[in-house]
Structure 1
């Protein structure tokens, strides 16, 4: 890992011409002290790194210095293959590898193309961390040590032991046969089988993982897109699915569709211009949460238990805020 970091340090200096130790530390995700040790190691190895003091100082390479440092390692090549979504690389624990790989790719370009590509890249922003209202788009955090073990089992074809906390349940150990990894809207999933039955595990709920030295029981080839669609279809039609009839303000329909499993037109618009929709949710909790987000822009017609749950919630809120603080 240190060798890769030294390569990345040289490529950063080559690309930016001059960087301070704190700037290098941020780029490499290490401490300033580690950067200083790495620079000493590069100098000892004959790489012409020199320091400039003063307000605009920093570390630089001797002008014209070049060497072949652009070979991609396994994780960097893998990160480029999933780089269609930067957040996808993050979800699989490949964020640092992606940054390192992109530095090598840029460095491998001819001199003129490097400047053109860098300028074009500054005109593109993919998956910013906040939306227009400055709301942070929270990506799920999965420890690198955990996702590294999961990746190892998936790619090498080993069985996998995971300490998994299902929603509303205590964590317990399971041994599974991994099939593949999927990321959807910043959420990562492990597709696997357990005792021959299909299982889907959310990566953020895996507390620990261990790749076993035992071959996984799985086919040699897999169409992951087809597997995901099939599991999604079973998920939408099985379990504790709840169907709700509700009048919804037209301007909130798209928001509801993004949350629900399925939305169907049930009746024409009423006098207020609100269509009556039949909406399917994963379970009771999902239905209550989603309709509560729409406040007075939605009215549940059935089932009665959901009307009662929303009414009791609203009454509790009204009571809480009915008097001055």
Structure 2
């Protein structure tokens, strides 16, 4: 068992407190706050995962990043002074370093979450392709359940609850809504309902590690260092390729597969019309946004390449 497996199984193995099973869960069930028994039975694990991600955030923001963030801000201030650049900063040196540390901690948690869900999702999909996990038809893909897909939903819900809460403090309303909507979608999955598609659509996260690496490179690496610039360029290219493959090529193909499976089981009494509509509408909106964002990123990349080529031409002309 590797380190990721130990972490995943360790979090899932933590038992619920006695009061949780004797008071809280029966209370939620009796008042109809949460109707899904599967969600109630795994709610303690979901909250443990939420707490785990917040612990990683706090340890990172308090201990891991403050020192390097302070040095980075000091370097920026020194560069401004050396180049005689007069910039009116809204926040003090300490406040800027604290803000940078908090943002770095957010990106570290995002990076960790992506690695965990991609590990779970890719492992499941590879096993499925080898026919180890049976999802042979639309009925099993919509109504079926395995421990693997349930665990994926648990980790996704745990993270997106944390994401919605932390975004309300450090980010904007669209990010809060993203966390809330994502939580609702994976809560539908744990019922169980279309659990097979939980790992399928988490492949969207394939580009996220490179997006987070890009952020760390921009914020902490020296921009004028040739080796760092090469690394950033290589990472940006991988980011664009994985974004296209994971969010556009894979995403549009899988929404077609999902709609086909819904059509095939629509006469089944277990079919949930409104839940299905929410999932399809949400994924279609996300697929359109992904296509728009990809177009924007490609345009920015082309502009940067042309700008770099023009600058190089001007430098050669000056040298001559």
TM-score surpassing 0.5? no
Which structure shows the higher strand fraction?
Answer: 1
Task: Using CA pairs under 8 Å that are at least 6 residues apart, name the structure with larger relative contact order, 1 or 2.
Answer: 2
Q: TM-score band, normalised by the shorter chain?
A: under 0.3
Greater helix fraction, Structure 1 or Structure 2: 2
Q: Which has more radius of gyration?
A: 1
